[in-house]
Amino acid sequence: MAAVRVGVIGVGMIGQDHIRRLTRVLAGSEVMAVTDSDLARAKSVADSLPAARMHTTGQDLIRDSSVDAVVVASWGASHEEYVLACIAAGKPVFCEKPLATTQEACLRILEAEVAFGRRLVQVGFMRRYDPAYVALKQTLSSGAIGAPLMMHCAHRNPSVPAHYTSDMAITDTTVHEIDVVRWLLDDEIMATSVLTPRRNRRAGELRDPLFVLLEMASGALVDVEVSVNIDYGYDIRGEVVGESGVATLAESNVITVKRSGSFMGHVPVDWRERFIAAYDAEFRAWLDSVEAGVPTGPSTWDGYAAAAVCDAALAALREGRRQLVALQKRPSFYD
């Protein structure tokens, strides 16, 4: 096979991590071009790579004939423009979440992709590549616990940076559960409510924790505890309740230590420790799909649905009551 020749738009922390992944971790790709709103940074990154040139705009990079496929890791507001340009150029694009910052922008991308006639877009919902979630989905598919009726989730961060807002608890944090439960349960979210339990004094002015309810089209009910100042670690919990059994994400510790009156297992300190292998697997799958010409990962539709549910959840948080999620009809294109 020939290496997939990749261009990277946006070389901040996330973009550079993807470049490291493409050049130092995974076989099968070559980074041919980079760009960034900070051109000095783009130049510095390009210089560090054996084959990469710098472009002054994302549009130029997308047009570059040495670029087969594009990674969009720039700030969210620019995603729509770059993804649309990739579709126009007929080039596969991996777009970090969010696909776009509004439902309307997501729908414009969706229309463009449908008009183009085949899938080009993968959205960066990496949890679908985590071995534990994959095993959970296999168990559900096997019928081992019957039809899913409920799912209990918890998304816990030890702390968040100063610029983190209560809205980000929905759009940056809960959004991972929003995508992963749609995928696990193979179901759409039709309504959402957000409850605000007793406030954590460690959380300052933030509404923390939140308790988000997601009502699926099938009637299945998902609850998500969102605790972003819980100190003890980065802990992602999930339990699907079926008709005749339950399936639960296990602890991720690799050893157990007994000392001082306790047995103990390690809890991850951050998302990187917990999901680094999922990011690698996500890019492995994307490169393979580019090579094969058949996209398989989270689609434009998934990006749109996540945006629509986040909008509803933000309204639910603001207004203190249940909100319906009004999705467009799904084009058969995405079945």
Please state at what angle helix 39-48 crosses helix 13-20, rounded to 10 degrees.
10
Is residue 324 at the binding interface for its own copies, with CB under 8 A as the rule? no
Tell me the C-alpha distance between 243 and 298, whole Å: 28
Question: Counting contacts by CB under 8 A, is residue 191 touching its own copies?
Answer: no
Question: With CB under 8 A as the contact rule, which of the stretches 120-128, 196-204, 308-316, 324-332 interacts with its own copies?
Answer: 196-204
With vertex at residue 245, the alpha carbon angle to CA 240 and CA 247, rounded to the nearest 5 degrees, is 40
Q: Give the range of 9-17, 81-89, 150-158, 310-318 binding its own copies by CB under 8 A.
A: 150-158
End-to-end CA distance of the chain: 29
Give the sign of the dihedral formed by CA 117, CA 120, CA 124, CA 125: positive
Residue 257 within binding range of its own copies, rule CB under 8 A: yes
Residues 159, 164, 169, CA angle at the centre, nearest 5°? 85
Contacting residue, 38, 243, 270, 319, with its own copies by CB under 8 A: 243
Q: Which of 264, 292, 324, 326 binds its own copies (CB under 8 A)?
A: 264
| 280 vs 284: CA distance, rounded Å | 6
262 binds its own copies (CB under 8 A): yes
- 190 is a site residue for its own copies (CB under 8 A): no
Among residues 114, 150, 190, 285, which is the contact residue for its own copies, using CB under 8 A?
Answer: 150
Residue 73's alpha-carbon distances to 8, 122, 184, 248, 265, in angstroms, are 7, 12, 26, 32, 35
Residues 96 and 69: their CA atoms lie apart, in Å, by: 14
Q: Of 40, 115, 117, 259, which lies in the binding site for its own copies, with binding defined by CB under 8 A?
A: 259
Our CB check for its own copies shows the closer of 2 and 162 to be 2
Stretch that binds its own copies, among 64-72, 108-116, 216-224, 301-309 (CB under 8 A): 216-224
Question: Site residues for its own copies, window 44-73 (CB under 8 A)?
Answer: 50
Helix 175-185 with 300-319: angle, nearest 10 deg: 120
Subset of 71-130 contacting its own copies (CB under 8 A): none
Closest approach of its own copies to the CB of residue 333, in Å: 28
Smallest gap from residue 3 Cβ to its own copies (A): 9
Q: How far is the CB of 223 from its own copies (least distance, A)?
A: 6
Binding of its own copies at residue 223 (CB under 8 A)?
yes
Q: Site size for its own copies, by CB under 8 A?
A: 76
Ranges within 265-294 binding its own copies (CB under 8 A):
265-267, 269, 277
Length of the chain: 335
Q: Does 225 bind its own copies (CB under 8 A)?
A: yes
- Give the integer Cα–Cα distance in Å for 302 and 180: 10
Among 14, 25, 276, 327, binds its own copies (CB under 8 A): 25
Query: d(Cα 186, Cα 220) in Å, to the nearest integer?
Result: 11
Contact 282, 124 (CB under 8 A): yes
Tokens 């629509």 correspond to: 308
